[in-house]
Structure 1
Amino acid sequence: MSENQGSNVKEPGSGPGPGRRKTVRKGMFVKDLKPMIYGAGDVPQPASDTVALMDDLIIDYITEMCLKAAKVAEPRGKVKVDDVKFILRKDPKKMARVEELIYMDDHIRKAKQIVDMNEVEPTPEKLNP
């Protein structure tokens, strides 16, 4: 763990807004980032400052996306997938990834339902032991 990951020091303007809780999320993705950075062509054990920087960038990006989606959803009061799609509408690469993830989520959900239905139905072996 790098020395900056546990600190509560925040940059000016990055503090919580009205009604937001103060939370420190540094180091949240470190475990997942190391193999991803390696997979992108870095050394097997990337430098901790590189991982910390990537972690900060990811947290900032996700936070901004959530805030934008919340602003779009404000009249409804609930963020939906369509709000995220609306935000990403001008970025075809990210939009395609969102569509792929939605498709795969639906595909996996249907496959699980089929498996669950097959487990509920009694088979002849179970009826006659």
Structure 2
Amino acid sequence: MAPQAKSHKTAGKKKGKKAQDAAGGPAVPAALASLRKRGLFSKDLPTMMYGYGDTRNHYQATVDLVEDITIEYATALTQSAMDRTSTGKAGKLQAEDVLFVVRKDPKKFARGMQLLQLNEEIKSAKKVFEEEETMKDEP
């Protein structure tokens, strides 16, 4: 017996949830879509695409599409994190807010934690370097 097709009322809808995008956050309003800047990642994306196995000579349409997807995902992720800010201050996004949004994706969460740890290591290395430079400059 063949499975029945969903009725037109329930087709493509998630039960009990708002429409969400790939980031798991609310869909990006159309007004924000017009504010997007093209070319933010146009220099970096071809190199990254090649590194992940694409050809050396990319179609510009492919780069533009990947850029649109990247910006859309980053916007949705940021908006979702802003909706759940732990600081309670409007407009103040913390790294922990983004980690909260990606907490159910082990790879993204682990990478976020790794980046925070590396950031702390870089800060401490800079502090040591600056202290050494200050000691050299003093008579």
Give how far 1:46 is off: 1.1
What CA distance in whole angstroms lies between the structure 2 residues aligned with 1:109 and 1:72? 27
Correspondent of 1:15 among 24, 31, 47: 31
Instruction: State the SS of the aligned residue for 2:57.
Output: coil
Name 2:102's counterpart in structure 1. 88
CA distance in 2, matches of 1:23, 1:14: 9
The aligned residue for residue 63 of structure 1 is 75
Match of 2:38 among 3, 26, 29: 26
1:47 aligns with 2:62: no
Greater relative contact order (Cα 8 A, min sep 6): structure 1 or 2?
2
Matched to 2:74, the amino acid is: I
TM-score for the superposition, normalised by structure 1: 0.77
Unmatched 5+ stretches in structure 2: 1-28
**Quick check: which one's helix share is greater?**
1
What residue number does 1:10 align with? none
SS class of match (1:108): helix
Percent identity among equivalent residues? 32
Unaligned runs of 5+ in 1: 1-12
Task: Give 1:16's aligned amino acid.
Answer: L
Task: Give the Å deviation of 1:122.
Answer: 3.2
Partner of 2:89: 76
Aligned length: 109
2:122 is aligned with 1:108: yes
